[in-house]
Amino acid sequence: MKILIRALAIVSLLALGAQWAIAGQENPWATPPVGRDYLPSKVIFPEQTIPLRFFHDKHLAQEIDCATCHEKALDSVSSSDQLVPVGAPGEDACQTCHDFSTGAQADPPSACETCHANYAPVWKDDRKKDDFRAVNNPPAAMILPQGHIKMNHKLHVDKGIACATCHGDLKNVQVATVANAMPVMMTCMECHDGKQASDNCRTCHIADPSGRLVQKFDSGVLKPAGHFRNDAHDDAWLANHAMTAQNDDRYCSNCHEQKYCLDCHNGVVKPFKVHPNNFVLTHPVHARRSEPSCSGCHRAQNFCLDCHKRSGVASATDFKGGGEGRAWETSKLGKFHPDGWVGTIQNGGSRGPSHHAFQAQRNIRACAACHTEKTCLTCHASGTMAGVGINPHPPSFGSSAKCKSLRATNPQMCAQCHLPVPACN
Amino acid sequence: MNRLVLPSTLFTALLGTSAAQAVDVHITSETIGQGYELIRSNGDVLRRSRLHQYLGLNLYDLADNGENNVFVVSQFRFDTDFGITDADTAAIPNLQNNQFSLQYLYVEARDLGWVDLRVGRQLVADDADYTMFDGALVTVHFPVYLGFDVLAGTEVKNAGYLESISTTQFELDGDGGYDDQTDEKTGIVIGASVYSDGLRDHHAKIGWRRIMTTPQTSPLGGEQSFVDMEKLFGSYHVRAHPKLHLALSGAYDLVSSVISDGRFVVRVPDLADHVDLELAYWFFTPTFEGSSIFNIFQTAPLNDVDFRVRYRVDERASAYLGAYTRFFRQGPDGNDLETDDLITDWGIRGGGKVLLGDTGRIGLDAFFQTGYGDITTLDLYGGYGFLDDTFDLSGRLTTVLFDDDVRDLLEGTSVGAEIALSYRIRDVAKFILRNEINSNDIEKVQYRVYGLVDLSFWL
């Protein structure tokens, strides 16, 4: 336990250290996001640099239409289009209202530092100061990497979808950022439901020729964050993915081919994350617990038996090719089953963890990992079989729904002991 | 990426066109070699030297419309085990070496009006079970947020030959191994399901599946199709609130008349922007193939409750702490002897991981379980990518303290170390060499060497 506590403490300290280390500078005019449940993916929208002072709120208060500055958005069909006024060409849009020659006292104020905060231009000697581009020190550039998403603004504009539907109301926003103005997928899905608009992932996400989504970008690896279908690919995903996949394996196939599932689930190669070192030695302790998840990759009678037979753990007499005897009895670990394992209760056997009835009721899958039904029939068979006739049925089995359904669906099972097959009560 | 013009009678027939089709061809190859030692129960060393060769042949965009709504995918596998000896094959009839198997091969057509179609060998995985079959899966998307699946085919069987690397791992337990000739007969798979389609915050599914034999002579008289598996199943996920997700699933085994599986998960993400909470319940009753007498024994269900809380410092660092407990109530036996003790198993887990720089990572997982024997696992892992992430060096140090409750002598401490080096050439090739060294106080030092060559080509 002490080791565990120390380890957790170390991990927590490392985590905190990493947080401090990556803390970066932020634009003081970037309005913090308000009322958002979560922020857009940094993989889809890579980190931007916006060294500007800007006031969407003031522009909107003047009832300036979005297209006045973002004119290209009306005809844009690709996310590679630059829709924000950037650089010298972009500033032409600003000049529609801001006459850069009029300075800070004008209305609206139009000095360089009006938008380029804390910027002091150093004019070239042979240029006039009203030639606002004649500087030796151009202001810090905006860096707006292309989003890793398909986007056809024109299509949306033509459908009459307002900018604010996707980008939110910016009337209280100064500098718009990914965090406060770019849509999250939940917003898109309000219309992209397969009925109003396509809900095919490839409609918006970049796909490779197989149709599956591209997941690796310079900005990181795209993976679900848990907003849909409980799909968070986090540290618990290994344990949690089953429910999501079983609920809808098509959902997974948007990114993964069937090979991806089989690579782990066909049990050929040991996944080290699942089975750490020396798992072969320690697996009996796990198997004893009857972990339900084992059967996701391993079926006892077509996985465990092979190894158990070859390694001398399984009872050789159960198999056609038997004759090796009970090899485990010579093991340095002693007999596999403890003393009293098969003693009958009537003869004083104890119905506890050391008795096979107890363990079989709790974890019969472990029995099937070494034994076929023949082992059980040795004692439990009756009638035409040469068993001892110890009744294996639970109380009131003959009148149970289980008896009726087993008999009706597959009476071969009953016939292993009972011929003719009797009726249930 | 070039487009390959592939004149193909098959594809043109499929598409109903006479023109040659341009398709995207994707070929994958994965070669896995591993060598390791096992200690037989009598102390002998069992050496295993396995080679697995996968080959994937995939043809996309057969309709040549850029939508990629018609494609063929396949995966073949060849396995060999150089460690199999004549003694092994003599003792285990049907144990074979050098086996070739088909993992899957199907043609899929999507968005044919309301219909999707998949034909060939395929795997379905849902709350009924994993089922690999040769046949057809038809999906109909209705314009009312509803979809409908129907499938039919023959079960892929190959698992009754004691091959741990057989084609399918998904054949039901209770098939009796290779001794049970009855269960080697072809299984017919039929099933259907209805599900919600296009609802952003909800996804529900209800289904039914049956695997049965062709008509056989029945001990009840006449002929009968014996049912190997038949289940009703369903699942539902709802995003009730951005910070509250609920998921529910279950399956009812119609052969044994028991609830074979039930799960309920509550997830509260991003609490205070940094904390995730998860609570899960799992009810599980093992069931077997219909012909198996394992079905007639009383098998008590397990009830697992699992809780986990995660603290995300940021996108690069997180830590978690969790606990679980398992309840099992021993029922009366055939002699009506009451032994209704409530038995519990429980455990705690914790850990975390941190990303270091652009390509480094380090993490720790710790897990302690007790109840049916104690086992404590400390797993420290990490890695670093260098030379623009072309090379990646990773390692793992694992310590396991174990003490089996039933088998007195099965206790000890195992220490294992693993180191792996991988080399990647863009998305075309990947090479991995991994070495695992284990030592424990029961067996001598063991080695496992693992090598992988992964190739992926678009033509």
Q: What is the pLDDT of residues B341-352, one digit of tens each?
A: 677 889 999 999
So what's the pLDDT on residue B101? 81
In chain B, residues with a C-beta closer than 8 Å to the C-beta of A230 are: 237, 245, 247, 265, 267
Mean pLDDT across the stretch A390-410?
89
Mean pLDDT across the stretch B393-405?
89
Contact A235 B284 (CB under 8 A): no
pLDDT at A333 over 80: no
Boundary residue ending a domain (A228, A254, A280):
A254
So what's the pLDDT on residue B229? 94
Contact B398 A247 (CB under 8 A): no
- Nearest CB to A247: which of B95, B235, B355? B235
| A363, A405: one domain | no
| Residue A111 domain flag | no
Cα-only R_g, chain B: 25
So what's the pLDDT on residue A154? 96
Residues in contact with A317: Cβ distance below 8 Å, sequence separation at least 6, in sequence order? A323, A325, A326
Confidence of residue B365 (pLDDT cuts 50, 70, 90): very high
B20 CA: distance to closest CA in chain A (Å): 19
Interface test with A, best of B107, B220, B258 (most A CBs within 10 A): B220
> What's the structural domain count of chain A?
3
Boundary residue ending a domain (A254, A287, A318):
A254
pLDDT at B318 over 60: yes
Residue A316 φ/ψ, nearest 5 degrees: -65, -25
Could you tell me if A323 lies within 8 Å of chain B, comparing CB atoms? yes
Could you tell me if A347 lies within 8 Å of chain B, comparing CB atoms? no
List the Cα angle A108/A153/A220 in 5-degree steps.
Answer: 95
Mean pLDDT across the stretch A128-148?
82
Contact A266 B263 (CB under 8 A): no
Contact B398 A278 (CB under 8 A): yes
Give the E-state strand segments of B40-93 in sequence order.
45-60, 70-81
Q: What is the pLDDT of residues A34-47, one digit of tens each?
A: 888 889 999 999 99
| Residue A28 domain flag | no
Q: Helix (H, G, I), strand (E, B), or coil: what is residue A30?
A: strand
Q: What is the pLDDT of residues A203-219, one digit of tens each?
A: 999 998 888 999 999 89
Rounded to whole angstroms, how far apart are CA atoms B253 and B127? 11
Flag the least confident range among A3-7, A120-124, B399-403. Answer: A3-7
| A238, A319: one domain | no
Could you tell me if A13 lies within 8 Å of chain B, comparing CB atoms? no
Could you tell me if A344 lies within 8 Å of chain B, comparing CB atoms? no
| A352, A379: one domain | yes
Interface of B with A in 205-234 (CB under 8 A): 205, 218-220, 224, 226-228, 230
So what's the pLDDT on residue B280? 95
Beta bridge partners of B112: B115
Residue A204 φ/ψ, nearest 5 degrees: -110, -35
So what's the pLDDT on residue B344? 80
So what's the pLDDT on residue A1? 46
Rounded to whole angstroms, how far apart are CA atoms A24 and A144? 17
- The mean predicted confidence, pLDDT, of chain A is 81
In chain A, residues with a C-beta closer than 8 Å to the C-beta of B68 are: 202, 207, 209-211
Query: Model ipTM?
Result: 0.86
Mean pLDDT across the stretch A339-354?
68
Flag the least confident range among A131-135, B161-165, B211-215. Answer: B161-165
User: With 0-12 CB in 10 A as exposed, 13-18 as middle and 19+ as buried, what is B212?
Assistant: buried
pLDDT at A130 over 70: no
| A317, A375: one domain | yes
| A361, A404: one domain | no
| Residue A52 domain flag | no
Q: Could you tell me the CA-to-CA distances from A416 to A377, A383, A420, A421, B403 in Å, in that order? A: 9, 9, 10, 9, 38
pLDDT at A22 over 50: no
Could you tell me if A244 lies within 8 Å of chain B, comparing CB atoms? yes
Structural domain for A226, as ranges: 207-254
Interface of B with A in 311-330 (CB under 8 A): 311, 313-321, 326, 328, 330
| Residue A249 domain flag | yes
| A351, A384: one domain | yes
Q: What is the pLDDT of residues B54-90, one digit of tens each?
A: 999 999 989 888 778 899 999 998 888 887 777 776 6
- Nearest CB to A306: which of B162, B168, B321? B162
Confidence of residue A383 (pLDDT cuts 50, 70, 90): low
Closest CA to A194 of B229, B199, B96: B199
| A324, A386: one domain | yes
In chain B, residues with a C-beta closer than 8 Å to the C-beta of A374 are: 179
Rounded to whole angstroms, how far apart are CA atoms A177 and A82? 15
Contact A345 B416 (CB under 8 A): no
In chain A, residues with a C-beta closer than 8 Å to the C-beta of B332 are: 394-395
pLDDT at B10 over 60: no
B450 CA: distance to closest CA in chain A (Å): 9
For residue B351, the chain A residue with the least C-alpha distance is: A8
Residues in contact with A345: Cβ distance below 8 Å, sequence separation at least 6, in sequence order? A351, A355, A357, B333, B335, B337
DSSP string, B351-419: EEEEEETTTEEEEEEEEEEESSEEEEEEEEEEEEEETTTTEEEEEEEEEEEEEESSSTT-EEEEEEEEE
Mean pLDDT across the stretch A365-381?
81
Cβ count near A359 (within 10 Å) = 21
User: With 0-12 CB in 10 A as exposed, 13-18 as middle and 19+ as buried, what is B239?
Assistant: buried
| Residue A100 domain flag | no
| A404, A421: one domain | yes
So what's the pLDDT on residue B419? 94
| A359, A413: one domain | no
Could you tell me if A291 lies within 8 Å of chain B, comparing CB atoms? no
Q: What is the pLDDT of residues A78-91, one digit of tens each?
A: 999 999 988 877 88
So what's the pLDDT on residue A15? 43
- For tokens 């080290």, the residue is A272
Question: For the whole model, what pTM was predicted?
Answer: 0.87
Rounded to whole angstroms, how far apart are CA atoms A277 and A229? 33
Give residue B442's Cα distance to chain centre: 31
Interface of B with A in 260-289 (CB under 8 A): 263, 265, 267, 269-270, 276, 278, 280, 282, 284, 286, 288
Cβ count near A203 (within 10 Å) = 13
Could you tell me if A241 lies within 8 Å of chain B, comparing CB atoms? no
Interface of A with B in 166-225 (CB under 8 A): 186, 189-190, 193-195, 199, 202, 207, 209-211, 216
B82 CA: distance to closest CA in chain A (Å): 14
pLDDT at A168 over 70: yes
DSSP string, B89-115: HHHSTT--SSEEEEEEEEEEEEEETTE
| Residue A222 domain flag | yes
Q: What is the pLDDT of residues B152-189, one digit of tens each?
A: 999 987 644 434 444 456 778 876 554 555 556 778 99
Q: What is the pLDDT of residues A280-300, one digit of tens each?
A: 877 887 887 788 888 888 887
For residue A264, the chain B residue with the least C-alpha distance is: B169
So what's the pLDDT on residue B198? 86
Q: Is the peptide bond between B286 and the residue preceding it cis, with omega within 30 degrees of 0?
A: no
In chain B, residues with a C-beta closer than 8 Å to the C-beta of A3 are: 366, 378
Mean pLDDT across the stretch B218-234?
93
Confidence of residue B402 (pLDDT cuts 50, 70, 90): confident
Flag the least confident range among A128-142, A173-187, A396-410. Answer: A128-142
Could you tell me if A313 lies within 8 Å of chain B, comparing CB atoms? yes
So what's the pLDDT on residue B397? 94
| A349, A383: one domain | yes
Confidence of residue A25 (pLDDT cuts 50, 70, 90): very low
Rounded to whole angstroms, how far apart are CA atoms A15 and A11? 6
| Residue A336 domain flag | yes
A82 CA: distance to closest CA in chain B (Å): 26
So what's the pLDDT on residue B225? 92
So what's the pLDDT on residue A320? 41
| Residue A155 domain flag | no
Interface of B with A in 135-164 (CB under 8 A): 141, 143, 145, 159-160, 162-164
Contact A351 B337 (CB under 8 A): yes
Q: State the number of CA atoms in the 13 A half-sphere of B403 facing the CB.
A: 8
So what's the pLDDT on residue A138? 87
Cβ count near B443 (within 10 Å) = 20
Interface test with A, best of B297, B388, B415 (most A CBs within 10 A): B297
| A315, A357: one domain | yes
For residue B121, the chain A residue with the least C-alpha distance is: A258
Q: What is the pLDDT of residues B117-158, one digit of tens each?
A: 999 999 999 999 989 899 999 999 998 899 999 999 999 876
DSSP A304: I
So what's the pLDDT on residue B178? 46
pLDDT at B100 over 90: no
For residue A257, the chain B residue with the least C-alpha distance is: B73
So what's the pLDDT on residue B6? 43
Does residue B220 contact residue A205 with C-beta atoms inside 8 Å?
A: no
Q: Helix (H, G, I), strand (E, B), or coil: what is residue B329?
A: strand
Could you tell me if A351 lies within 8 Å of chain B, comparing CB atoms? yes
User: With 0-12 CB in 10 A as exposed, 13-18 as middle and 19+ as buried, what is A264?
Assistant: middle
| A354, A386: one domain | yes
- The mean predicted confidence, pLDDT, of chain B is 84
Could you tell me if A392 lies within 8 Å of chain B, comparing CB atoms? yes
Q: Give A306 or B67, the one with higher predicted confidence.
A: B67
Beta bridge partners of B404: B373
